Structure 1
Amino acid sequence: MGLRICLILVVFSLAWPLQAQITGGRSTYAFLGLPSSARVSGLAGNLITVVDDDVSLAFSNPAALNPLMHQQLAFNHGFLGGQMQHGAFNFGHKLGSKGTTIHAGVQYARYGEIEQTNEFFQDLGTFNAADYAIVAGIAHPVYDRLNVGANLRLISSLYGQYSSLGFASDLAATYRDTAKRVTVSLVFRNVGQQLSTYDPSIGKEPLPFDLQIGISKQLKYLPFRFSFIYTSLNRWNVLYDDPNLDSGTIFLGEEPKDPSSFNLWMDNFFRHVIFNGELLIGARENFRLRFGYNYRLHREMTVQGYSSLAGFTFGVGLKVNRFRIDFGRGIYHLAGGQTQLGISTNFKEFRKG
C-alpha cells in the first residue's frame, strides 16, 4: 500500500508541467532553498546524502524517510538578520511493517514589518511579508538498499496586498551500502508551478527547480562522514557575469586579461558543488561537530577587494537526555549571515521512561 501511494505521488508530480530550469534570482518562492534545520545550516545548507533518525532531513530528501524516524518531532528556527526569520517543524511516523514512513510539517519565512512608500517616497504605512509551505511526504524501500520518496507542498505567499498560491513536489531516490558506509542520493527539488500569481496581469513565475545528486562516505577507522553534493544538474552555466567587476589579472601595468576557458570551466563547475563533513563522537554519536563550504555562495557574496569567509558554515549537535539540540551558523556576507537553532525528540523515549 505504501509503495502504491508513493508511486501515485511520483506520477502525479511528473505529470505537473516542469517550469524553466532556472536558478538564483529568476524564480519565485526562493524561501524553499533556505536550510530546513540547524544541522543542515552547519553543513553548507544541503544534506541529501544522510539517512538516520533526523526527521528534518525529509524536507530536502524525502527518500531519507525511514522507520528510525517513527514518532520523531523536530523544530528548527533561524535568524537571518533584522526582523527576518525562518524555520520548519515536522513529525515522522512509520506505517505498517514494510518500512513505509511518512512525515508532515510546515516550512515558513517571515520578513517582519516593512515600510511602504509610493514612487515619490511618501510614507504609506507598513505591511507584513511572509511565506509558508505545508508539507507531506512518504518513502518506501524498493529493496533493502534503495528507498524512493516524494514530498508534496502547498505554498502560500503574502506580501502586503499581494498574495500567491503554489504547488511543488520533491522526488527522490537514495541508495545505501551499509557495508561500505556509502550513500548516494538523487533528488528533484521543487517540481511544480504557481496556482495564482501576485499580479493577475503578470504571467506565472517559475519555481526554483533544482536537480541534485550527492554521495557521502563514512570512514572506517574514524567517526567522520563527508559529503559531496552536486547541485543544478539541470543547468550547466551558473556563472554570473558582472561587468563592474575586474575578473582578469594585471601584469606589469598591462590591461586586464580575461580568464582562460579552462579557468571559467573550473569556476563554473565548483559553483555546482557543496562540500560538508560531520564528526560523530561517542558510541551513540551524541556529540557532533560540523562544517561545510559552498563555493558558489562564496564567489557571489564576497565583496571585491575584501577577504571573506562567505560560503563557510559550521555547527554542533548535542543529545541531552531525550532531546537533541543543534546549532548551525552560515556566513553569507561581510554584513552577516544566518544562525539556526533546532531541537528534536522522539515520543517513544518518553514511553520507555
Structure 2
Amino acid sequence: MLRIHFTSDDLARVRMAAGPDPMWETLLSGHLINELHEARTFGAWRSRVVADLPRLALPYLHLTPPRGYSPDFLTPADGAADFGDGLDRVLVTHRDRLRTDIDRLGEQKAVSTWASDLRDGLVKAVDGLGATMTAYHAHAIEPYWTRIHAAVDADLMVRARLLATSGVEGVLSSLHSTIAWDAPVLTIDNPTVDRDVHLAGRGLRLIPSYFCSGKPITCADPELEPVLLFPIERSVSLVGVPRADPQAALARLLGRTRAAALQALVRPTTTSGLARRLGASLASASEHATVLRRAGLIRSTRCGNRTSHELTALGHGLLSGTPA
C-alpha cells in the first residue's frame, strides 16, 4: 500500500503537468518493451518497435526492467519541455546520484560493465547513455509522439472540468480505480508496496501518462520532488490503419506551408522560432500562427514581447489522424 500524506499547504500546491513528460514516457515504454508477455494494450506498438529495434537502443533497456526499480536520474525533477531538454539534464546528473541509483538497480539485477562505468561517471559511459537514449527515443517514441500528446491532452481536459466542478480532492480521488482519498491521506492499493510518503508542504505534481500501464507510481527516492504518475484512458491508438502519406493529406487540407507550420509546432516555440523552423519571414510565420489559432489548432501565449505557440488537442488530433 502506498500512502501519500498531505498537509493543507500540500493541497494548495497540487499541480497537473501541462502534457506528457517525454522522459517518463520513454522510461515507462522501456518497461513494456522488456515485458515479454505484454500483448494486450500495447501489443501492436510493442511488436512494431521490437521488430527492428536498433542495436544502439539496447543499453538503455538494461536500465528499464519491467518490474522493480529503474534509476530515478532517468526522469529529471520538474519535468522536461521536450526530449532534448530532458536528455541534457540527464547527462549532467551528479556522480553521487549516478552511484546511488545504479547501486540500487544492482540490488535487484546484475548490471552490465557499461552500467558500472556509468555508475562511476566515466565520460565514455555518459556519452554512451546519451547515444542509447537518443536511439531508443527516436525509434520507439518520436514516431508516435503526436498521438501520445493527443491522448494526454484529452485526459487533461477531463481533469480540468473535474477540477472546476469538484476541486482538488475530486481530482485526486478520480485518478485511478486503485486510489482512495480519505483526508489527509491518498492511498494507492498496491500489494507489492508498503510505503508512506510525507509531502511536508512540497505539494504534489500529477503526471498523466500514456505508457503507465498499471497502478499509479512515484519516485523511489523520498527526497526527490513528489510526483504521481497515473495511467490515462487511451482513446488514441498508437498503431492505427496505415496512412499512405499523412503530410500530403494535410497539405491538401491546409496548404503546404501551413501544414508544415502545424507540424513544426509539435514542439512549442515562439513566433521567431517558428519562422526559423519554416525558413520563412517573421511576418509570414505570424500570419500562419494566426490562421492556425483561429481554427483552434494552436494556442498562443504572450509574455512580454514574445509570443509562444503550442498545439491544442484538436491540432494534435489532426496531425495524428484521430481528431478529438
The interval holding the TM-score normalised by the smaller chain is under 0.3
Relative to the length of structure 2, the TM-score reads: 0.24
- Structure number with the higher strand fraction is 1
Higher relative contact order (CA 8 A, sep 6+): 2
Relative to the length of structure 1, the TM-score reads: 0.23
- Structure number with the higher helix fraction is 2
